[in-house]
Amino acid sequence: MLLYVHVPFCVRKCGYCAFHSGPFSAPEAERYVELVLRELDCRGKALGRRAVETVYIGGGTPSLLTPAQIGAILEGAAARFDLEAGAEITLEANPESALKTGFLVAVRALGVNRLSLGVQSLRDDLLATLGRAHDAARARLAARAAREAGFSNLSLDMIWGLPGQDVSAWLADLAGIVALAPEHVSCYGLSLEEGAPLAEAVDAGGLSLPDEEEGARMYLEGSAYLESEGFGHYEISNYARPGRESRHNRGYWSGRDYLGLGPAAVSTLGGRRWANPAGLDEYARTAAIGAEREGTEILTADVRRQEMVMLALRTRDGLDLQEFMAATGIEFPRRDPAVERLRSSGLVRLGAGRLQLTREGMLVSNSVIELVLGVLDRTPASTAQESYD
- Give the CATH number, domain containing residue 136: 3.80.30.20
With cut-offs at 50, 70 and 90, classify the pLDDT of residue 295: confident
Name the strands in the sheet holding 319-320, side by side, starting at the edge strand that comes first in the sequence.
319-320, 354-357, 348-351
With cut-offs at 50, 70 and 90, classify the pLDDT of residue 34: very high
pLDDT of amino acid 20: 56
Q: Could you tell me if 229 and 309 lie in one domain?
A: no
Q: Could you tell me if 321 and 236 lie in one domain?
A: no
Nearest-5° angle of CA 188, CA 162, CA 220? Answer: 55
Among 235, 252, 269, residue at a domain's last position: 252
CB atoms within 10 A of CB 206: 10
Distance CA 28, CA 35 (A): 10
pLDDT (average), residues 44-66: 95
pLDDT of amino acid 204: 78
Q: Is the pLDDT of residue 65 over 80?
A: yes
Q: Could you tell me if 224 and 313 lie in one domain?
A: no
The model's pLDDT over 335-388, given as tens digits with 9 standing for 90+, comes to 999 999 999 999 999 999 999 999 999 999 999 999 999 999 999 886 434 433
pLDDT of amino acid 191: 84
Among 222, 237, 252, residue at a domain's last position: 252
The model's pLDDT over 196-205, given as tens digits with 9 standing for 90+, comes to 777 777 777 7
The answer to whether residue 358 sits within a structural domain is yes
The answer to whether residue 384 sits within a structural domain is no
Name the strands in the sheet holding 184-189, side by side, starting at the edge strand that comes first in the sequence.
232-235, 238-240, 184-189, 154-160, 114-120, 82-93, 51-59, 2-7, 258-261, 266-269, 272-275, 297-298
pLDDT (average), residues 325-333: 94
The answer to whether residue 277 sits within a structural domain is no
Q: Which secondary structure element, helix H or strand E, spans residue 115, and what is its range? A: strand 114-120
Containing domain of residue 370, as a range?
Answer: 301-377
Distance CA 162, CA 200 (A): 14
Q: Could you tell me if 312 and 241 lie in one domain?
A: no
The answer to whether residue 350 sits within a structural domain is yes
Among the residues of the chain, which ranges form H helices?
Answer: 26-47, 67-80, 95-98, 103-109, 124-130, 136-148, 167-179, 197-203, 212-228, 247-253, 280-286, 301-313, 321-328, 337-344, 359-363, 365-377
The answer to whether residue 87 sits within a structural domain is yes
The answer to whether residue 44 sits within a structural domain is yes
Q: Could you tell me if 111 and 186 lie in one domain?
A: yes
Question: What Å distances lie between residue 46 and 77, 90, 203, 382, CA to CA?
Answer: 14, 25, 48, 38
With cut-offs at 50, 70 and 90, classify the pLDDT of residue 1: very high
Q: Could you tell me if 244 and 350 lie in one domain?
A: no
The answer to whether residue 280 sits within a structural domain is no
Q: Give residue 179's identity as a one-letter amino acid code.
A: A
Q: Could you tell me if 174 and 309 lie in one domain?
A: no
Q: Could you tell me if 226 and 359 lie in one domain?
A: no
The model's pLDDT over 224-234, given as tens digits with 9 standing for 90+, comes to 999 999 999 99
Number of domains making up the chain: 2
pLDDT of amino acid 381: 82
The answer to whether residue 265 sits within a structural domain is no
Among 252, 285, 315, residue at a domain's last position: 252
Distance from chain centroid for Cα 362:
16
Give the least confident one: 132-141, 189-198, 228-237, 336-345.
189-198
The DSSP code sequence of 38-60 is HHHHHHHHHH-S-EEEEEEEEES
Q: Could you tell me if 189 and 312 lie in one domain?
A: no
What percent of the chain has a predicted confidence (pLDDT) above 90? Answer: 84
pLDDT of amino acid 388: 36
Query: Does pTM top 0.85 for this prediction?
Result: yes
Q: Could you tell me if 42 and 168 lie in one domain?
A: yes
CATH number for position 312: 1.10.10.920
